[in-house]
Structure 1
Amino acid sequence: MEHQTILGMIGLGSKEDLYWISILLFVGTYAMIILEKFFHRVPAALLGGMLAVFLGVVTPESAWESIDHNTMFLLIGMMVIVSVLIESGFFSILSSVALKITKGDPFKIILTFTMLTAVLSAFLDNVTTVLFMIPILISITSKLKLKPIPYVIATVLASNIGGTATLIGDPPNIIIGSLGGFTFMDFIVNIAPIVVVTHIIGTIVFIAMMKFRGDLEPKITDQKEIMRIVEEQRVEYDVILMRKGLIVFGITILLFFLHHILHLEAGTIALFMASILMIWSRENPEKIFERVEWTTLMFFLGLFVVIGGLEHSGVFEDAAHLVAGVITDPISGILILGSLSAVISGIVDNIPFTMAMSYVLIDLGKTATFDVEPLWWALALGACLGGNLTIIGASANVVAAGLSEREGYPIKFFEFVKQGTPVTVVTVIVALGLLWLKYTIF
């Protein structure tokens, strides 16, 4: 016997009805997230997700499957490891060192952090990098009386650009590597050189924007005062706890590199290593879990279910086939698929769209008279770089927003869009232009 839903009871249970109601739910949830003056984004996302289950757009089982458990496990695991490192005083030391190196110069701070973040995001993953960098950045900027939010946003944009370069840097690349059959070296050869150029141009754009807005003006100009802040940084730390935390963190990163050989998801590795650290460190679990960004995790939970509604009712499949339908050759396909992937990934989470589009490209590869490989790279560039468009476009954005809010610096939806859009537009044009040139000339 088929399970009767609330929508079914009122005569709206057909496949077509569910299709349009899933779109309506997504638009409603998105509107609530945008109208943050009236609604906090976390209960807005949870309400949207639970409405999808309550009305029967998705079954509880489908809702559970819609949640990207790898992302959730990765976040919880890395948040626990980072929490222990914060407790040990590790980040206070890094913050002190960064202050000494940059001598409190805002330009040097932004350059150091965006460069370091982009490199780390390529070889870890951008969520882990953001969890690591943002607390240090907020600590430095607030001490120097600078506005932390523009620095946080610039660092997140750099993490998404850097994460585009490799197979393990961003979740869409892991999907593309797995379904398209591409190796780590394929990404290094085809994507990394494009990303290096894109990152340099992207950095110039957001530094120019910050300069124009006056965000790079030092608030403390007296060098003696800056040196006093640097010298005054009293750092209390626990050497034994720090050593344990860093050993576990190091092994976790090593396992991330080997996760394809071990056939383990990054999330499984992170949560496993976090469990080991909690037992080894003998820290109070309640104290550690207090620092875990539960609001961010709840936001993801709700959003995954809302997007799961779109996925289960076939919206992504239709969007993917629509894109494939207008592609007649790989050269125009790069620009069409890349641009549309960037726009869609900026509005919805890029993981389910990449998944749907990947299956379409597999089918297209069987019937097309042309080589579809360039389309895979266009999808990777569009899906990863498009995540910089909005605060919910990529996992790293949501995590950074949660960390920033916890420190007392909430990032508004439109504030992120205002700073993220110019960078996204320029980087997507540059990256797709370079990919197009590569296949046109070579």
Structure 2
Amino acid sequence: MTLLVVIVFVAVYAGMALGRWPGLGLDRTGIALIGGMGLGLAGAVTPAAALEAIDFPTLFVLFGLMILSARFAESGFYDWCVARIAAARAGPVALLALTVAVTGLLSAVLSNDVVVFAMTPLLCLGLGARGLDPRPFLIALAGAANAGSAATMIGNPQNILIGQTGRLDFFDFLLACGPPAVLSLVVVHVTVLLVWRGRWSAPVQGGLPTPRVDRLELAWAGLATLALLALFASPLPQAESVLIIGGLMLLSRNLATRAILGLVDWSLLVLFAGLFVVTAAFSQTGLPAAGLAWLAGHGLPVADPAVLTTLALAGSNTVGNVPAVMLFLKIVPDAGPGLLYSLALLSTLAGNLLLVGSLANIIVAERAAAVGVRLTFRTHAACGVPMTIASMALALLWLTGLGYLPWK
């Protein structure tokens, strides 16, 4: 049975890296789901064990935050932000800084994937109407979404998973990861500025539609966000806090429940559930623990900064940061807060390296292509590689300086 679990695990994580199984239309969610179902049907995982493997508090937090982000999107808030950026009376350098700052802030509080999904098309149209090349701004958008999301425990799916698994405090997480995340936003701006200096112009194209903002809807979503932050400071478990806010967000006079739930990324929730089962089964074989013991025996403990940085870069830019973090948490179940802060920060920043390094990068490229702007792998890497090296170096200095990730 161990051999079967290993084969399924390798097949699933190969699918995570490739994005599909050759010859089939399955995406990452389908691969994870089939992997979990296959283990169950083969008897490698019992139904009870499968349910126990799924971290439902993490899924509840993701679900509630998706509803909150959906209400912001429905209010027209993201469209309004992009319109203000594109219409600002400023030069390209200032517009770039504005893009980075707004995206970073929104991604720290709301889901970074939702932010870039909503902002990308209008950013392309607005900048094109001003005769500016949208590509450097799109790279900055993706880079800032990743960097900004690293600041908080609710900025991206992997941080949510880490926070729930380690039972971390929201504000302690912010104090640990917020400062290097802000520095990384500066790195994103400076990197794109240096790489694209003097190449901002492009033929004028189209125009930007006037956004419509539902102020009442926006006020309701804003109050809900403040209430959520207040609940995070209370003794109430975070999963329950998010579910309370998510339930309140379903109350609407204009939006039907079906419409709100239609904006939830159910595929991501199913992906998490499938990976929970597959990684739990793999960890039960004892092979991951043996591998860690072998590394430690050769002077390479996982808590070593060089080892963790290498794992973060390799994992985020192959199988993806969510599957990589999920596997790490299964094979290192006793990780302390310092190591978890380090994992969250480094795995998120590592996603800026390549276009395939994070879901936010892929969303930006696909949404831009839909409005006629092509962001290639090479174009992204010209900024992604240096910004990742610089931001991760700063993060390592911060983490080791505070003793979260000490050098041995």
State the TM-score, normalized to the length of structure 1.
0.70
Query: For structure 1, which runs of at least 5 residues remain unmatched after alignment?
Result: 1-13, 221-225, 365-371
* Structure 1 counterpart of 2:393: 429
> Residue 230 of structure 2 is aligned with which of 258, 270, 292?
258
State the TM-score, normalized to the length of structure 2.
0.74
Contact kept? 2:140, 2:188, Cα under 8 Å: no
Greater Rg, structure 1 or structure 2? 1
> Residue 17 of structure 2 is aligned with which of 20, 30, 34?
30
Contact kept? 1:121, 1:129, Cα under 8 Å: yes
- Separation in structure 1 between the aligned mates of residue 338 and residue 55 of structure 2, nearest angstrom: 29
Question: Residues 422 and 163 of structure 1: is their aligned pair in 2 closer, same or farther, counting only changes over 3 Å?
Answer: same
Question: Residues 45 and 419 of structure 1: is their aligned pair in 2 closer, same or farther, counting only changes over 3 Å?
Answer: farther
- Separation in structure 1 between the aligned mates of residue 273 and residue 196 of structure 2, nearest angstrom: 33
2:328 is the alignment partner of 1:341: no
> Residue 246 of structure 1 is aligned with which of 211, 215, 218?
218
Question: Residues 342 and 252 of structure 1: is their aligned pair in 2 closer, same or farther, counting only changes over 3 Å?
Answer: farther
Q: CA RMSD in A?
A: 4.4
Question: Residues 426 and 322 of structure 1: is their aligned pair in 2 closer, same or farther, counting only changes over 3 Å?
Answer: farther
Instruction: Give SS of 1:420's match.
Output: helix
* Structure 2 counterpart of 1:18: 5
Task: Supply the AA of the counterpart residue of 1:312.
Answer: A
Instruction: Give SS of 2:317's match.
Output: helix
Question: Residues 354 and 52 of structure 1: is their aligned pair in 2 closer, same or farther, counting only changes over 3 Å?
Answer: closer
Question: Residues 28 and 191 of structure 1: is their aligned pair in 2 closer, same or farther, counting only changes over 3 Å?
Answer: closer
- Separation in structure 2 between the aligned mates of residue 386 and residue 133 of structure 1, nearest angstrom: 22
Q: How far has the Cα of 1:246 moved from its partner?
A: 0.8
With 192-201 and 313-322 compared, the bigger mean Cα shift is at: 313-322
* Structure 2 counterpart of 1:73: 63
Contact kept? 1:94, 1:136, Cα under 8 Å: no
Question: Residues 206 and 18 of structure 1: is their aligned pair in 2 closer, same or farther, counting only changes over 3 Å?
Answer: same
- How big is each residue's C-alpha offset from its partner over 1:66-111, in whole Å with a ceiling of 9 and x where there is no partner? 796346524641453144223xxx55544443233244x3333221
- Separation in structure 2 between the aligned mates of residue 307 and residue 410 of structure 1, nearest angstrom: 35
Contact kept? 2:321, 2:348, Cα under 8 Å: yes
Q: Which structure 2 residues correspond to residues 85-96 of structure 1 after superposition, within 5 A?
A: 85-86=75-76, 93-96=80-83
Identity of aligned residues (%): 19
* Structure 2 counterpart of 1:367: none
* Structure 2 counterpart of 1:162: 148
Task: Supply the AA of the counterpart residue of 2:319.
Answer: V
Q: How far has the Cα of 1:335 moved from its partner?
A: 2.8
With 378-387 and 116-125 compared, the bigger mean Cα shift is at: 116-125
Q: How far has the Cα of 1:167 moved from its partner?
A: 3.6
Question: Residues 244 and 151 of structure 1: is their aligned pair in 2 closer, same or farther, counting only changes over 3 Å?
Answer: same
* Structure 1 counterpart of 2:180: 194
Contact kept? 1:125, 1:170, Cα under 8 Å: yes
Question: Residues 435 and 30 of structure 1: is their aligned pair in 2 closer, same or farther, counting only changes over 3 Å?
Answer: closer
Alignment coverage as a number of residue pairs: 393
Q: How far has the Cα of 1:114 moved from its partner?
A: 0.7
- How big is each residue's C-alpha offset from its partner over 1:277-297, in whole Å with a ceiling of 9 and x where there is no partner? xx322x46777777x486xx5
> Residue 253 of structure 2 is aligned with which of 269, 273, 280?
280
- How big is each residue's C-alpha offset from its partner over 1:366-399, in whole Å with a ceiling of 9 and x where there is no partner? xxxxxx6643432232222123345564454455
* Structure 2 counterpart of 1:383: 347
- Separation in structure 2 between the aligned mates of residue 22 and residue 375 of structure 1, nearest angstrom: 25
Query: For structure 2, which runs of at least 5 residues remain unmatched after alignment?
Result: none
Instruction: Give SS of 2:54's match.
Output: helix
> Residue 120 of structure 2 is aligned with which of 127, 130, 134?
134
Question: Residues 287 and 343 of structure 1: is their aligned pair in 2 closer, same or farther, counting only changes over 3 Å?
Answer: same
- Separation in structure 1 between the aligned mates of residue 54 and residue 221 of structure 2, nearest angstrom: 29
- Separation in structure 2 between the aligned mates of residue 315 and residue 142 of structure 1, nearest angstrom: 53
* Structure 1 counterpart of 2:87: 100
Question: Residues 356 and 316 of structure 1: is their aligned pair in 2 closer, same or farther, counting only changes over 3 Å?
Answer: farther
With 393-402 and 24-33 compared, the bigger mean Cα shift is at: 393-402
